Amino acid sequence: MKALTANRLTDGEVVFWKQGQWLDRFADAELFDDEAVAEAAEAHAKTQVTLLVEPYLIDVAEVEGGVAPVSYRERLRALGPTNKPEHGKQAQGGAQIEILAHAHGAASSKGRIDLIKRK
């Protein structure tokens, strides 16, 4: 699954594509199952030069309670900085924000963690 994101030109705000509109919340993002449709949307976004900076597709996956971006970096963009919960989109709170905040990385590094035991 994919979603389309960018930063808004005038203020840098993280935005997500939904059927031709650009919205602030990841919860409102259109989810693409079809790669070709996603790429067509991205190609269109790249022409919206007075609206956006650097539109790109991100991987999205199902998590407990809903969907969330796969990479930690993208979840952080959809939430805001963790050192200041009062800043960024997370400040609004709500169930959708909770889902993102509690999502974990799709990749597991468990093997690594087990290596590191205290004597």
Q: Give residues in contact with other proteins (CB under 8 A).
A: 7, 9-14, 49-50, 53-54, 70-73, 76-77, 80-84, 87-88, 105-109, 112-113, 115-119
Q: For 38, what's the count of Cα atoms within 13 Å in the CB-facing half-sphere?
A: 18
Nearer to other proteins, 6 or 41 (CB): 6
Least distance (Å) from other proteins to the CB of residue 71? 5
Nearer to other proteins, 73 or 102 (CB): 73
Least distance (Å) from other proteins to the CB of residue 13? 7
Residue whose pair of structure tokens reads 């970096």 in the numeric block: 73
Burial of 82 (0-12, 13-18, 19+ CB in 10 A): exposed
In terms of Cα–Cα distance, which of 98, 92, 30 is closest to 58?
30
Nearer to other proteins, 1 or 71 (CB): 71
